[in-house]
Amino acid sequence: MRGNHDKETRKLTDAFSWLNNIAEISIHGQPIVLCHYFMRVWNRSNQAAWHLYGHSHGNLPDITGSLSMDVGVDTHVFRPRHFDEVRARLAEKLKERPSAENASTLCIPD
């Protein structure tokens, strides 16, 4: 995944089999959208797809119920997070989502 500090990497695009700004993958049937940057919405975000990002270095507030997570190594003792760690955290966040019958009562600010 290309990041904003990867200027030298961009010169080596022929050395990579893939280098892009966003990717949609599936691991064990879980749809995941990867992007260096945080997004408020992403493909299938309303269908429990995850969004994993970096860039913000853990400085963004967590959004209740949002299945997004800053997985940058600087948020986790400079080591990558294991898939099971991410799955456990996002399972907690899924429980925080409003139920379908309460969704109509959500207030969206202007």
Report field, pTM of the whole predicted structure over 0.85: no
Q: How far apart are CA 70 and CA 59, in angstroms?
A: 9
pLDDT tens column, 14-29: 666 666 789 999 999 9
What are the angstrom distances between the C-alpha of 79 and each of 6, 76, 82? Answer: 19, 6, 9
Four-residue CA torsion sign, 80, 81, 84, 90: negative
Domain ranges of the chain: 22-96
What is the number of other CB atoms lying within 10 angstroms of the CB of residue 58? 11
Mean pLDDT to the nearest integer, 56-63: 74
- Between residues 58 and 38, the one the model is more confident about: 38
Specify the pLDDT at position 13.
61
- Cα maximum dimension of the chain: 51
